[in-house]
Amino acid sequence: MTSFNIHESRETIRKFGELMYEAPKIHEELYVEVGYRDRQVADIIHDIEFLDMNKRSGFKHAVELKENRQARRNAKELMEFVKILVDFNNKYPELVSDIKKLVGKFDSVVEEQSKRVYTPKVNRNAKSGQKHFRSEIDRQLDSSNTELGG
């Protein structure tokens, strides 16, 4: 039988939803960072243009320019990846809401299953009546709660 870890599946779905929720904000922050770096480079170039420099200050400006360009490049490259998520979000505007509902359904099933007990069919005095039978799912949930410190 194929294995299916309930807790791991739920957490993966939840984390994906969280990522999709955060993607537009992350994209905006990176966009702002690229703009900031562009303006900072303009300031450095204007310093080079207008100020008298010696080798030391020229080198200092070159290092500053290099660091800014590298930071800009990093932000721009990250922005390309995050844009993929933003575009996907825009294509499916209900995605984050649907993922929250999906996680909620997992939680509801776990809650329902934790309350299930055996009801005898004929012998109402059977000792197994109202007993909750531990299943593999219960063991998985117990071990995931232990892993989470709960």
What 3-state DSSP class applies to 141?
Answer: helix
Instruction: List Cβ neighbours of 51 (8 Å cut-off, separation of 6 or more).
Output: 57
The tens digit of pLDDT for each residue in 123-144 reads: 777 777 666 666 656 666 666 6
What 3-state DSSP class applies to 130?
Answer: coil
Tokens 């243009």 correspond to what residue? 49
Could you give the C-alpha distances from 46 to 40, 49, 74, 85, in angstroms and in order?
10, 5, 23, 37
Residue numbers of the chain with a pLDDT score lower than 50: 148-150
DSSP string, 82-111: HHHHHHHHHHSTTHHHHHHHHHHHHHHHHH
The domain segmentation of the chain, as residue ranges, is: 6-109, 116-150
**pLDDT attached to residue 149:** 46
Q: How many CB atoms lie within 10 A of CB 82?
A: 20
pTM of the model: 0.75
